[in-house]
Amino acid sequence: MRVMFCLVLVLCAPIAAGCGSDADGDGYSEPAQMAPVVGQGLPPEIQHPVTEAIDRIQHAFEERDYKTLCALVTPRAARDAGEAAHGDATTCRRDVYRLFDLIHEGGGWRHAGAPRVTAVTEDGDRATAVVALDRRWQAQVELARRDGRWQLDGLFGTSLQRAVAVAAGVPDSTFPTEQGKPLAVANGDNAPCPDLSDANYPTISGGCRLRVTGKVAPLTMLTPFGDFRFDRCSIAYTIRVDSSGRTWTEDFDVVGEVESACGDVSACYDPKVNGGVPWRGRIHRERDDSYVHQMDACVRTCVGNFVGALNMQLEDGDDGWRATPIDGGGNSGFRFDNPLSVRGELELGEPG
């Protein structure tokens, strides 16, 4: 099955990547500055029934007590495990054992059992918890209340239900709130970037057009159980930015070698538009005059869906602009681990 093959390759990739292998001459290097510092800048873990449920899930995971773990996840999360590990669900205990053992043997788990619950939002019998390793390395996970107790509803990332809702709601969403100092964006001729238009959504027009690419971009994912290296892929996407720094990210494309897991990564799919959705975002001018591009990402993979902020620092160097991963990279639980090149005319500065 395709999904099973995806995960087997996912778990082979971290062995080479974790050792800093560059056998293919692709320029990959292990970016030590991206490794999370557990607990850095985090508030104390909040006290909440959802926190208690995740603590029990982590304990069962560390003890390899998959019978208890299966009692703490929904049938939907159990199906996720089966589809990832075998291509089809069998029994929860067998599927979870197979999935976690593959990751463990592949050397993919880092900071196992360490993610801390820093926020919980309830909505009836559903809840969203933010788990974090440090101030910026965070992920949003979904839980459902069944028979009076909270269960994890989606083994990795957020639930498919929420990802579908986020994708469908993009046209009615708003751009991220402006932070930091006021920003003016112009093209190479110092002319303000035109207004953006989503009149023909999902096709976006207007703005200054930038192309962001990376030949080798290791992908890392954060889960309630810890973080792991997914695969090394080629990344390409387009940014359209207006004069105030508002952005749309479109044409998100992830590819890799034949039989790699990279082809199973894409923007979330919206059946109403019969395609992947673009992401709203904004370039922020920080207090130290650095620039951060925040994308409100919605990513689907063969092991889960990841929704939330995906942040990249924009740096102007001798060979042009680069998009450099920020340690953690937001609260989507999904990040790139190598700098990406930015092609296009871009001038960032103060208004006026």
Residue burial 16-50, b: 16+ Cβ < 10 Å; e: rest: bbbeeeeeeeeebebeeebbbeeeeebeebeebeb
- Mean pLDDT confidence for 25-29: 37
- Mean pLDDT confidence for 249-263: 89
Distances (CA, A) of 26 to 20, 34, 141: 12, 19, 34
**Res 35: pLDDT:** 57
Query: Given phi > 0 = left and psi -120 to 50 = alpha, else beta, which region is 210?
Result: beta
Residue 3 pLDDT more than 60?
no
**Res 112: pLDDT:** 87
**Res 107: pLDDT:** 60
pLDDT digits 0-9 by tens, 129-147: 999 988 878 999 999 999 9
pLDDT digits 0-9 by tens, 35-51: 567 777 888 889 999 99
pLDDT digits 0-9 by tens, 283-296: 999 988 899 999 99
In this prediction the pTM is 0.85
Q: Which of 15, 9, 6 is nearest to 80 (CA)?
A: 6
- Specify whether domain 2-20+33-164 bears CATH 3.10.450: yes
**Ranges of each domain in the chain:** 2-20+33-164, 173-349
CA pair distance 271, 18, nearest whole angstrom = 37
pLDDT digits 0-9 by tens, 74-114: 988 888 777 765 567 788 888 888 888 777 765 678 888 89
